[in-house]
Amino acid sequence: MKFEGLEPKIIEPLVMNEQYQHPAFPKPAQNGIKIWRYMDISKFEWLIENQRLFMSVAYKLGDPLEGTEPTGNDLWWNNQSRNATTDRQKQIIKANQEKLSKFGSVFREHYYVSCWHINENENNRMWCEYTQSKDSVAIQTNYKTLRALLPKYVEIGVVRYIDYNNESLPSLNMFEYITHKHVDFCFERELRAVAFRSPVKEFDSDCFDQNLFEKEDSSQFRVFAPKIDIKALVCGITFHPEASNSFKREIIDISERNSLVVPNNSLFDINNDQ
């Protein structure tokens, strides 16, 4: 779609990397960088049982700003309008702003997201924020592995954090809506995989539809869940620091039955259950 009378905003490289798989999805500094996903037992069992990566629709992630347009974008548009030299240019700018805002609202319901925490070590705050019970685990993999295992049309990149009240997105690319979060969430250090169904038939749209699921009694509940090689994905499993011994036995048993790696903090006193 053509937009008239605008100077495009430029995406500056925010991470050290030679290439971007997509301008709105900057890659992490190293392909082998460790990433974590913290989860309760129900989510871990679902992952293992179904051999699929659960990717929630964006507006179900819990953050009301997820996938929305920052208020700070208005500042950029207002500046464009002030610099316009004719009423016609101002009308074009206003029309373009309204179109993009409308697209953003519609697209929000069609982004499917899997969130990972970038860190060499486990993070106590992530346990608190993203698990409901002490009987929980974090699985580890790395960017290169996750990228290789997911379909090519699933984009993966580092989330960037901005003040949604005062800062604007770096470009007019619609994927910027789903690759930015409010600065309050910067502790997450998130690497994000995003699936979005392309309207172009040649871009694996049939494959996409095969991995899109709805609840039988509710078409509003949708998830994207591509098949994934769990053995290749899971490079490590870590228990919650206060996990019970009975829970640890359960996870070790699941791991052994499915030929997964042994949890890397699995040592405990079998005679002294918590």
Identify whether 190 is part of a domain.
yes
Report yes or no on 81 lying in a domain: yes
Please tell me the distance from the alpha carbon of residue 188 to that of residue 116, in angstroms, as a whole number: 8
SS3 99: helix
Range of the domain at 209: 34-45+53-120+143-229
Question: Is 185 part of a structural domain of the chain?
Answer: yes
User: Torsion angle, CA of 90/96/102/106, rounded to 10 degrees?
Assistant: -170
* pTM (predicted TM-score): 0.82
pLDDT single digits (tens) 94-122: 999 999 888 888 888 889 999 999 999 99
Q: What are the CB-based long-range contacts (under 8 Å, 24+) for 248-254? A: 250/41, 251/41, 251/44, 251/137, 254/44, 254/45, 254/48
In the chain, the number of structural domains is: 1
Q: How many CB atoms lie within 10 A of CB 198?
A: 11
- The answer to whether residue 243 is domain-embedded is no
Q: Does residue 195 lie within any of the structural domains?
A: yes
Residue 255 lies in a domain: no
Task: Answer yes or no: is 188 within a domain.
Answer: yes
Residue 85 placed within a domain? yes
Question: Could you read off the pLDDT tens digit of each residue along the chain, which spans 274 residues?
Answer: 333 444 434 333 334 344 446 889 999 999 999 999 999 999 999 999 999 999 999 888 878 888 889 998 998 899 899 999 999 999 999 999 999 888 888 888 889 999 999 999 999 999 999 999 999 999 999 999 999 999 988 999 999 999 999 999 999 899 999 999 999 999 999 999 999 976 555 555 567 888 888 765 555 678 899 999 999 999 999 999 999 999 999 999 999 999 999 897 655 444 444 4
β-strand 180-182 against 160-162: which pairing, if any?
A: parallel
